[in-house]
Amino acid sequence: MIGCVATLLAASSISAKDRITVNPDAVNTGSILHAWSWNFPEMARSMQEIADAGFTMIQTSPVQQCYAPEGSGKKIFDENVTEGNWYYYYQPTDWKIGNNILGTKEQMQEMLDSAAKYNIKVIVDVLPNHTAFDVDAVSEDFYKAVGGRDKMFHSNGLQPVQDYNDRLQCTLWGSGGLPDVNTENPDFQKYYLEFVNELLDMGVRGFRYDTAKHIGVHSDPVDTASGVKENDFWDVATGRKAVKGVKLALPYDELFVYGEVLQDKNVPEKEYADYFGQTASGYGWLLREALEKHSAKGIDLKSFHHEAAPEHLTTWVESHDTYANAHESAHLTDDQIRAGWVFLTARQNGTPLFFSRPAGSTRTNYYGNNVLGARGNDEFKHPEVVAVNKFRTAMAGQREDVQISDSGEVLLVNRGKKGAAVVNISKSANFVDLPTGLPNGTYRDVVHNKEFKVKGGRLTGVLAPERSYILMKK
């Protein structure tokens, strides 16, 4: 029998950070490079280039032991399912550091030391919600730590979700068919938190929680059939309470944490905001729609379309899921992705994440060279990407003013009186004539050395197709 706790515990809200009330003066200056499928040595070797490209954070793929059948770990995607697949490392078999895709714990430490040298914060993708499909592949150490196989999963955890808008199914059944872990089991919480604390001790300073919306909050149904009394996983994971003498090793506010809470019906965004930042997945969908149509006409790109305040959102043009899972963004050209990135990153709020596409990938060959662990393509250090990353940092304290042409083809992000980013998302040459806060004068774009003029509070200039320009007050 599954009961329900209908109210959010007041005690857990008292010390919570307010992530709902918008602060108009809040300005995000960081940016994340998602080094998807890069192994630890590749990250370590590339750290200076990442820093030089203006990124302040790097997000790794999952680092825990994962499903690794013999012969796997070679290809990002193998239709014959013999030489590996990217989604294997999203199937935990134990909460111990190191796997056959990213590398060993020692190699991870070398990567973290390299990141510290260049003042790059490392975020690790963690996924406590589920185990590998093959429950026999889960380590006996893991089962023993949580009290045995019968204690590992929710009472209906092996039953696939049929209705993702049903919060009972969403949080207590198997998401994507993956066995749903009993995250409220104190033995599991202790074992998982010890893994997290080990990462923190090594130098990790943030986490991305995969399938976060599938781990219940206090208002969600409680799996009383598994002996659960309350949905307290997030209280433990965010350091509000200890479990069996173990507590988060660092003050939670020192960490950058966001959850993959994909937007849909009946998702308690406000309640999740009580614990962490969230993904602005709906905004990413709208931005891609504008890029596909080569116009934002009729599309609201000013609002982030989320119940949480924009300063607490992680934003993207595309994610590894939109690229590799359903391929919904994989057809967009690098030029289109870059145009969207410049617009997104020039904005005042959200923390933008740049997904590193596989090396050699094309719009007909999404996996390119198809080598797991290899560095992605060089788009992360394209001059326009670098320019807007550095623009974002330089615009600390500057409020945004977003302007869009009547045609929807030209996007302009003004940042106070200090700078502006101009993006032409059309496939044709264009002309900008929009209001700006920049003082009167002649400006040259920092990437292409293109001339623009400001007179009477309006910015004018000619734009090449699908090109971005960064203007800075000297």
Where in the sequence numbering do the catalytic residues fall?
210, 260
Q: What is the C-alpha to C-alpha distance for residues 142 and 148, in angstroms, rounded to an integer?
A: 8
**Is-contact 322 284, C-beta < 8 A?**
yes
Tokens of 188: 């599991």
- Report the candidate in 219, 129, 126 with the shortest Cα–Cα distance to residue 174: 129
Q: What is the C-alpha to C-alpha distance for residues 161 and 177, in angstroms, rounded to an integer?
A: 7
Q: What is the C-alpha to C-alpha distance for residues 185 and 147, in angstroms, rounded to an integer?
A: 9
- Report the candidate in 30, 35, 56, 32 with the shortest Cα–Cα distance to residue 108: 35
Residue 229 to residues 186, 246, 467, 472, Cα–Cα distance (Å): 11, 19, 55, 56
- Report the candidate in 87, 90, 98 with the shortest Cα–Cα distance to residue 64: 98
Q: What is the C-alpha to C-alpha distance for residues 389 and 300, in angstroms, rounded to an integer?
A: 23
* Bridge partner list, 430: 463
Query: Alpha-carbon torsion 115, 34, 54, 303, what sign?
Result: negative
Hey, is 459 helix, strand or coil? strand
The CA-CA-CA angle for residues 148, 151, 68, to 5°, reads: 65
- Report the candidate in 373, 370, 354 with the shortest Cα–Cα distance to residue 362: 370
**Is-contact 305 280, C-beta < 8 A?**
yes
* Bridge partner list, 248: none
* Bridge partner list, 471: 420
For residue 397, give every residue at least 6 positions away whose Cβ sits within 8 Å of its Cβ, in sequence order, or none: 25, 27, 416
Tokens of 35: 């080094």
